[in-house]
Every structure is written in structure tokens, then in C-alpha cells.
With several copies, the nearest count.
Chain A
Amino acid sequence: MSDTAAAFKALNRDEMANRLAQDIPEGWYVNLGIGAPTKVADFIPADREVVIHSENGILGMGPAPAKDQVDPWIINAGKQHVTLKPGGSYFDHATSFAMIRGGHIDLCVLGAYEVAENGDIANWATSATESAPAVGGAMDLAAGAKRIWVLMQHTTKQGEARLVESCSYPLTAAGVVKRIYTDLAVIDVTEEGFSVVEMIPGLTREELQARSGARLRFDRLNTAG
């Protein structure tokens, strides 16, 4: 599929993270997956208190420190240096995953290879026979958080759909994704499948459907914004 003279401009990664960040209300406890989801923290409005959790035993994580202010003892799950906000706390791994698996995390934002229309997510291995797969905390987060939002490109670099009828990659968890933020749209996962709630300007329904591997519904599309 090629886009000749497209009338729309896909969001870049910062814009995607920013778009998602706007939907996180004050007071939520949020875990941000490794990679693109981590950027979401930078775009939460400054007047909104959101408490960021990290699997390795941190609640109340703050932004990356200035280079000369690094405390080597404070890293996030992606092993990047971070800071602790006033009100933050440290705890062990069992307690940290009790928070996750026990349903205390309001939102987890994950990247994904694929999301299926029933909410299945595949984000940890690209084939069933992959050598030395690494799962980390992805399955715990996907199964445990109150809600899972996915932040990902709408298609692969090769133009293949990531929104699919059924995942071809090994599952991370079944039926858990509630919402997907892509460079093209915001899509809810409903009992009737994918339901588009927002599209970037200039993109047509047909163009979005053409880039998706499962049927999209548009009856809940917010056309006001």
C-alpha cells in the first residue's frame, strides 16, 4: 500500500505520547512500558498530579535528572536514570508486582506488535520459536493493570496492519486492551471490536480501514474535535 499525495500527516512519536498523556486524569497510578510509552510522562500536563510506578520498586517516579545530577541508585524498568518525587517510595519486587497483579495500577501503557479486535495483545516475542525470548514484566502488567492502553504505530514499517482480527505473534495476554493510540487514530476495543473515536485531520475512514487488519466501526467517532 502506498500513499501518494496523502492529505494527512501522521503523528510523530512525541505527538503520539502527548495525545495519550492528555487522557490520563489526575490521581491515576500509571505504569509506562519500556520504549515509546516511557515518553508519555514528559507530556502529562504540569498541573495534573499523576503517580508513575516502575516495576523495579518505585512509586512516584520523576523525570530524568540533569546529567550532573544523576543518582546512580534510581533507575526505571528500562534501566534509565530517573528521579523520585516528594511522596515517592521504594519497595521490593514482590510488593511492586502485588500492586500490578492486584489491580492497583489504574493504567498501564504498553507498546505492541499486534492488537486483536478482542483485546488480545502480542508484544513480547515475534515468533513462537524465537531464540532466547525475554518477557520481563509485560505479561504481569498486561494481565494485572486495571486498564491497558497500547501506544504503537498503526502499521509496521512495511505497511502491515498491527490492528488485526487475531494475533499471529505469541500472546502477552488475552482480551485486555481497552484503547489504542496510534500515529493515525485513537481506537477503543469494544465488545463489537475496534471502534474509532478519533482520527488525525485529513485522514479518511477508508484510508484508516485500509491500514487496519480488522473491521473498524466509526459510530462512536468524535467528529467535533
Chain B
Amino acid sequence: MIDKFVRSMADAMEGIADGSTVLVGGFGSVGQPDALIDGLIESGAKDLTIVANNAGAGRVGLAKLLELRRVRRIICSFPRSAGSVVFEELYANGEIELEIVPQGTLAERLRAAGAGIPAFFTPTAAGTQLAEGKETRVIDGREYVLEKWLPGDVALIEAWQADRWGNLTYRSSGRNFNAVMAMAATTTVAQTQHVVDLGAIDPEAVATPGIFTSRVIHVPYGDPEI
């Protein structure tokens, strides 16, 4: 019987090696897999590349992972936000590498990794400093930038419902990067608010089919902070 549920956080984190590229879902605090991020901290994995829209806030979660010097490089669209104090300190001191990627390009590079597309042309950032050093091409009179896929070794995501095949739903704006990152990693680990029986999710409303999910852990995490 296929059963992707794991019973402990240690099992959820199994095999995350030093040097891994870890995709972390969420947008702001909605859909952010807090328990899995804490699990990653607990696992001790270091020298990580983190891919996330933001670079953490306060001194917990992603910010704590950064503060513990576990992250060598962060790839994100909006590192500087309210409370991103840890990131800003590390960056100012040259203790973390930063790759800024426009939000849509970030999403598309992840989707491309999931879809077996190693590179694509995009109009985003053409003619700007974020295209410097990148291959460009004029197609039908417009300039485009060549962007590469962005595969992860591990994706940490937050779901709303999950069944034992790893079929997932999300809640409202919690789908965001979670559904995209689920496709893009070798190992995708989901924390889910609810566990449901196989067949309980409408086949038309499965947001992430189980083929993209490696492991699921039940974490009744409650609502995002208001």
C-alpha cells in the first residue's frame, strides 16, 4: 500500500544533505511551512542554498536558519521586507550570497525544473541590470532574456489537505509557490493541516497530484499569523 505519511519530523527530514538546494514555499506568512523549517534547523543540515520568495523575518524560522549560518546562498525575489533583520545583517557583512530573481521568473524557473525545460526566454528584466551577463535574443522584434531552470534537491511546502498518495490541496492564497515548488524538487516534503482518506479530495480539485509528493507529515499548524 502506498503511504507517504511519515510519523516523525526526523523521518520527514531524512537524507537532506549538507550543500542541498532547498525550496521553501509560502508567500509572506501564508503557506509558509514553519514546522518543516524548524525541522530543517533541527536536522543540522548546512551549507544550504535556499530558494524562497522572501528571506525571513524576525529571528525565527527561515531567519533563524540564516542566523545559525546554515545558508550559503539565498535565491529570492524580495529579501528586504519588514523584519528581514537577520538577512540584512548577514548580507551587509558578506556572510551570505544573494541571487535576486524577479518573482515571475522565479516561479517560471521552478515550474521549468518540474516540467523538464532546462531553459526558456522571458521578456522580464530585459534591458535591466538583472539581465546583465545573461544571454539575450531578439525574437519577433522584442528582446528576451534566457533563464535556466531551478531544480531543488528538497522542497518544503505547506498543504491544507493530504491523502496517503500525497495528493494535496491548499487554502486560498496559500497555494502560491507551494504548488510550483512541489513539482521542482527531487524530494518534496509537505506539512498538512488535515489528513483525509484516499478519494476524499475531488479528482477535479487536486492541486498537487501525488506524483509530485514524496513525504507528508501531519502538522495541525493552525492559521497564519494575522
Contacts and interface: CB of A to CB of B under 8 A. Distances in A.
Interface stretch (B8-16, B42-50, B60-68, B113-121): B113-121
Contact of B210 (A59, A98, A128, A138): A59
A103 B130 CA distance: 21
B129 A171 contact: yes
A29 B180 CA distance: 19
A92 B177 contact: yes
A54 B155 CA distance: 24
B113 A102 contact: yes
A27 B129 CA distance: 35
Contacts of B206: 89-91
B223 A73 contact: yes
A135 B212 contact: no
Contact of A102 (B171, B183, B201, B203): B183
Contact of A53 (B117, B173, B211): B211
Contacts of B111: 94, 98
Interface string A60-86: 100000000011111100010100101
Interface in A125-141: 128, 131-140
Contact of A101 (B79, B115, B167, B170): B115
Contacts of B113: 102
B134 interface: no
B218 interface: no
Contacts of A101: 104, 108, 115-117, 122-124
A106 to B, nearest CB: 9
Contacts of B225: 72
B2 A49 contact: yes
**Interface residues of A toward B: which range?**
35 or more
Contact of A73 (B30, B116, B117, B207): B30
A206 B49 CA distance: 55
B198 A87 contact: yes
B104 A56 contact: no
B126 interface: yes
B104 A104 contact: no
A212 interface: no
A49 B173 CA distance: 22
A170 to B, nearest CB: 5
Contacts of A102: 113-116, 183
A99 interface: yes
Contacts of A131: 88, 91-92
12 contacts: A49-B2, A60-B165, A72-B30, A79-B27, A79-B28, A90-B206, A93-B179, A104-B114, A132-B79, A135-B101, A135-B103, A140-B124
